[in-house]
Every structure is written in C-alpha cells, then in structure tokens.
Amino acid sequence: MKLTNKIALVTGAGKGIGRATARLLAQEGATVVVNYHSSEKAAHAVVDEIKERGGEAVAMQCDVADGDDVAAMMQKIIEDFGRIDILVNNAGILIPQPFDETTPDAWDKNMETNLRGTYNCIKAVSKPMKEQRAGKVVNVSSISSIVGSLTSAPYAASKAGVDALMKTLAPEFGPYNITINSVAPGPVETELFTSNYSKETADKLAQSTPMGRLATPEDVAKVILFFASSDSDFVTGQTLIVDGGRIIR
C-alpha cells in the first residue's frame, strides 16, 4: 500500500470526488479525516464504508471558509494523530450564472469556499508539515481555471486563483520536502454537476470529449492519489488536467 501510516485530510469528503478520494486513500493505508460542512450524514456514511473495508477514518465538521474553524480542526487532528501528511483541498461550490446575472453574493460565495477555503487549509497545514519536513498538498481545481467558463465566471476565477496560489507556494514549500499540485478535472458525474446541469447538457459535454464520456469521481481520485503518494515526490507546482482530452478539441 502506498500510504501506510499516513494521516490525510480530505475536505468536502462526503460526496463526489471527495468521497472517492477518501475511500481510495484509506484503501492505500492512510487514516483519513473526512471533512464536511453540512453533509454530516453523508460524511459519516463514508467513514462507515471505509471502516467496513478495514480502513481507518474519522469525520470532522468544519467550514473551510472560516479560518478559525479550520485552525481548530487542524489542532484537533494534530492532537489526535500527532501529524498531518496529506491535504486534499476538495471542498468547493459552483453557482452557474451568465455573467450579466452574476451577483456580488454569488461571487463572494465562490471565492470564500473555493479560494479562501483552500488558502485557509494550506495555511493550517503549513507549519506542521514544515516541522515534519514532509507533506503533500493536492488542490482540486478545474479546467475552467485554464479555459474559462461560459456559465460561471466566479467559479472559473476562483479556481484560477487556486492554481496561482499553488504555483506561488511550490518554491517556498520545496525546501521542506512539501509538494503542492493541482488536479484540474473537466465535467465529472457528481451531485454538484448533475444538480446544476441538465441531462441534455451532460450528454453534449460527453460527446465533445474524445473519450466519449464524462469523468467519474474515481477517475479524478486516482490522479489525486498520485500526487498524495511517493510516486510524485519530484513533482511540484503542476496542474494535471483530467478531462478525457476535452480541452484539446
């Protein structure tokens, strides 16, 4: 197993990509902190599922947009487990709106969760990882950070900010043996996606992809595992696109 004795925090881990990632990291030997904001039932279901498969996991509630809340969660993780080895910044929201209909509130909500939440969590793990002189930070970005989005400018801007933050921190973290990278999925069959887009739109997006389908959460989780494991020890400051080739069309 690739992550034996590692302690991993996955934010927004009750559903979708976060759920698939938590399950996979646990399968590879990590003890996983399954973070959630409001999806308590779903998060505990993930923990139960991991334990039923012989893994180790706990659920922790925290609003990643709240810096004090994140700091308290990290203190609890260090108290309980003594270290933090892996951070997966997955928590995020998407509010699809044409630009002219975008409200300041929608802009702020995207930025608070997607960008500030990522900042808060990285800030919280920075000190313990530097003291350990080891760590893995993996951000879930989006191809919208690269090509933009016709349906959500705030979302695209927030994810571009995530990638810029990652590139800025890579040189600072490198001397401490901490890698930081981003995974940029295309459309993924998650509750977040299906609740915001029609089946017709989903079918069109699948048809526009060379692989002929949308990504599954597991497709993305496998790439996150690569960045979270020793397989990527000499890779940092990178954004890896996971979109079945859609971006090249």
- Tens-place pLDDT, residues 212-246: 888 899 999 999 999 999 999 999 999 999 998 88
Question: Per-residue pLDDT tens for 19-34?
Answer: 999 999 999 999 999 9
State the pLDDT confidence band at 7, using cuts at 50, 70 and 90: very high
What are the residue numbers of the active site?
Answer: 155
Nearest-5° angle of CA 196, CA 202, CA 207? 160
The beta-strand segments (E) located in 168-218 are 178-185
Single-letter residue type at 44 = H
3-state secondary structure of 61: strand
What is 7-187+216-243's CATH superfamily? NAD(P)-binding Rossmann-like Domain (3.40.50.720)
3-state secondary structure of 88: strand
Tokens of residue 249, six digits? 């069309």
Cα–Cα distance measured from residue 203 to residue 189, given in angstroms and rounded to the nearest whole number = 11
Dihedral Cα 163, 168, 169, 172, nearest 10 deg = 160
Whether residue 191 is predicted with pLDDT greater than 80 in this model: the reply is no
pTM listed for this prediction: 0.95
* CA 241, chain centre distance (Å): 14
